[in-house]
Structure 1
Amino acid sequence: MGRIPEHRRSVAASLVQGVYILERDRQDKRYGHNALAPHWWQFFHFQCIQILVDQVDSSIFGAIFEYKPYTPNYLGHPMAPQHGPPRYVIAFRGTITKPETRKRDFKLDGQLVLNGLTRSTRCQNALQAVQRVVTQVGPACVWLAGHSLGAAIALQAGKDMAKGRCHIETYLFNPPYASVPIEKLKDPYLKNGIRIASSVATAGLSVLAKGLRKNPSSQQYDPFKVLCSWIPYLFVNPKDLICCEYIGYFEHREKMEELGIGGIERIATKNSIVSLLSGALGRDGEAPHLIPSGFLTKNMVGIEQDITLAHGIHQWWKSHPYWHSELYQMR
């Protein structure tokens, strides 16, 4: 199941779908043999050993799955995590627009845009769950996975662990990029001009903000640089307004390097206008959606015109000849 990259991606997406169905089973009161969610993990020989519940609306937003292989001693083999399925997968769902969940989910979506998601109890509980599992078995035996809002939570948990040099294999499906989707502009010259102007402005504000800090020595540690060797898998659709800007984010950085002004872009890559304003107001100034490295897969299929299709998790659990993948790594 886990030896081929396509299989690993399909399994991760299916387990995320399982979390969606777990919450829908709860809302529709489907229990026992009537529950639909187990089909999404039992086919791959996983068991759901823990559900993660939001303290505010009592909804299920995540789950921890344990792999139960046919071979009794499989997980005891030292090479098992690298060449096969993980021992545990921690998966997070995205926004559900049904009445029982939409108020809480929409609020978290708003906090995401304003860089406030990390302060939410849902995000904090997710990180605590990840830390517990990693403490038990180590990072090599664990995967993180999430879709949409859940991808933002998985990304933040993965970043927090990576800052402690604990790298977890992470699958991010349609991860939100909290910015205007410049990638959707048709004119390439206008698009590139806006990106360059934005990079220069962001870099300038970043240098200014750094100069205004009272304790510059405390800024010697650069958490963004620590993240360079952590490479999550990102799966985006160019027609999805929520995640498509990741394409321009990575591609523009390479173009700036080619133009010989990569230094400006490296500064800009670490920050967003919102994060700089948040930092100036004394809040956490880190932009949670910004990462230095990633293995980006684009779904270029032409039929995905509707936003609900372009943003759906369904597109990622099956192989497709129109996908294009590329590694981006800041050094």
Structure 2
Amino acid sequence: MASERDYFHLSGPLHLTHVKWDNLYHRKSVAASLVQGVYVQEKDRQEQRKGPNALAFPWWAFFHFQLLHTLVDDVDNSIFGAIYEFKPPPSKCNDTLHKTPRYVIAFRGTIKKPDSISRDIELDLQFIRNGLHQTSRSNIAIEAVRNMVASVGGSNLWLAGHSLGSCMTLLAGKDMAKNGILIESFLFNPPYASAPIERIRSKKLKHRLRIASSVVKAGLAIAMKDKKSSSFDSLSAWIPCLFVNPSDYICSEYVGYFEHRRKMEEIGAGSIEKVATQNSVISLMMSAFGKESEPLHLIPSATLAVNFTPSRNFKEAHGIHQWWKPDLCLQSKLYKY
């Protein structure tokens, strides 16, 4: 049976009848809705909802997008992504229309349903082990983005993803940025593969733990003669939008990650943090044993938007639906290094 959250007319952003494409709130709401469209497409597939019984269509059609193509996992045949094309009617033209994307590639996160949960959890674990870039799903995602960029250019494209889908967005966005192509990207509740230090209440303890972690990572990286710097620096100009909730332990550490680098710069320890911020303990350990490892979650720059609206539980704090609510207490800050 379908959840109320799958029905656009019950839980979608119906209030956005006039989208101002130069407004971050409007842009992120549209991007989040397109991601939800991918979730519901896969649920439609699993529950065999077709034709008039399918629920996914309004999630993109409301904003005048058309579904061009679905991205299908080659292991479990689940729909994990979608490519949309923006096709507004003449009556919807306005002075912000030049800010719209021509195309959007969106990726869903984990779905706890029988036909997809096994593969999704396998990929979640690959992310934790810094091995997601070696999976076939990530290859399909990156290839789709490369093909679209080759066809229409990076400036006409948006990337969007939620949770595990944010990881796919990061992989593809990083891949393009390393080649000088900067794609506007929206990452909702992006996982951070580390202990959630941000959840500790004591600010002093958090700061001390992060300094200790930075010293250890920088020391190990220098001792191992790690050479990530040039690759990491090439990402500096790419500024994805990260949307996190401090009550979501999966993504909340991004708040501390960027603030810690700023604080380390202020106390004159920027050189240590410049090395530390490129590495994770897991990636360094795996590299020490000669295994390829890429800490996907680490990036030098971002616009970080934090939702301080109280969440009733973890499910709500990690959910995609929060990002189009009209009464969000959202604070945004640019970090660029």
Question: Does TM, scored on the shorter chain, surpass 0.5?
Answer: yes
Question: 1:105-153 CA distances to partner (integer Å, 9 max, x unpaired)?
Answer: 0110000000010111001100000001110010000000000000011
Question: Match for residue 259 of structure 2?
Answer: 251
Which deviates the most, 135-144 or 219-228?
A: 219-228
1:106 aligns to 2:121 (yes or no): yes
Question: Match for residue 236 of structure 2?
Answer: 228
Show the 5 A alignment for 1:1-331. 1=19, 2-71=21-90, 83-210=98-225, 219=227, 222-302=230-310, 304-330=311-337
Alpha-carbon contact 1:146-1:171 (below 8 Å) kept:
yes
> SS where residue 236 of structure 2 aligns?
helix
Alpha-carbon contact 2:307-2:328 (below 8 Å) kept:
no
> SS where residue 100 of structure 1 aligns?
coil
For 2:327 and 2:173, the matched residues in 1 are separated by 27
Alpha-carbon contact 2:46-2:115 (below 8 Å) kept:
yes
For 2:73 and 2:325, the matched residues in 1 are separated by 30
> SS where residue 264 of structure 1 aligns?
helix
Counterpart AA for 2:84: F
For 1:319 and 1:329, the matched residues in 2 are separated by 28
Change (3 A) 1:189 1:157: same
> SS where residue 287 of structure 1 aligns?
coil
Question: 1:70-99 CA distances to partner (integer Å, 9 max, x unpaired)?
Answer: 139x8xxxx96xx33211000000000111
For 2:42 and 2:254, the matched residues in 1 are separated by 29
Alpha-carbon contact 1:239-1:305 (below 8 Å) kept:
no
Alpha-carbon contact 1:293-1:329 (below 8 Å) kept:
yes
> SS where residue 201 of structure 2 aligns?
coil
> SS where residue 224 of structure 2 aligns?
helix
For 1:178 and 1:255, the matched residues in 2 are separated by 21
For 1:146 and 1:54, the matched residues in 2 are separated by 16
Could you tell me the percent identity over the aligned residues? Answer: 54
Alpha-carbon contact 1:199-1:264 (below 8 Å) kept:
yes
Counterpart AA for 1:138: G
> SS where residue 99 of structure 1 aligns?
coil
Counterpart AA for 1:199: S
For 1:271 and 1:326, the matched residues in 2 are separated by 23
For 2:111 and 2:134, the matched residues in 1 are separated by 21
Tell me how far 1:4 sits from its aligned partner. 1.8
Question: 1:38-65 CA distances to partner (integer Å, 9 max, x unpaired)?
Answer: 0100000001110000010010000000
Question: Match for residue 7 of structure 2?
Answer: none
Aligned length: 317
- Unaligned segments of structure 1, at least 5 residues: 212-218
Tell me how far 1:69 sits from its aligned partner. 1.6
Alpha-carbon contact 1:154-1:172 (below 8 Å) kept:
yes
Question: 1:19-56 CA distances to partner (integer Å, 9 max, x unpaired)?
Answer: 00000000111111111000100000001110000010
Counterpart AA for 1:306: N
> SS where residue 327 of structure 2 aligns?
coil
Counterpart AA for 2:255: I
Question: 1:200-222 CA distances to partner (integer Å, 9 max, x unpaired)?
Answer: 000000001107xxxxxxx5971
Tell me how far 1:231 sits from its aligned partner. 0.1
Question: 1:276-317 CA distances to partner (integer Å, 9 max, x unpaired)?
Answer: 122223332321000000000000012x04110000000001
Alpha-carbon contact 1:63-1:92 (below 8 Å) kept:
yes
- Unaligned segments of structure 2, at least 5 residues: 1-18
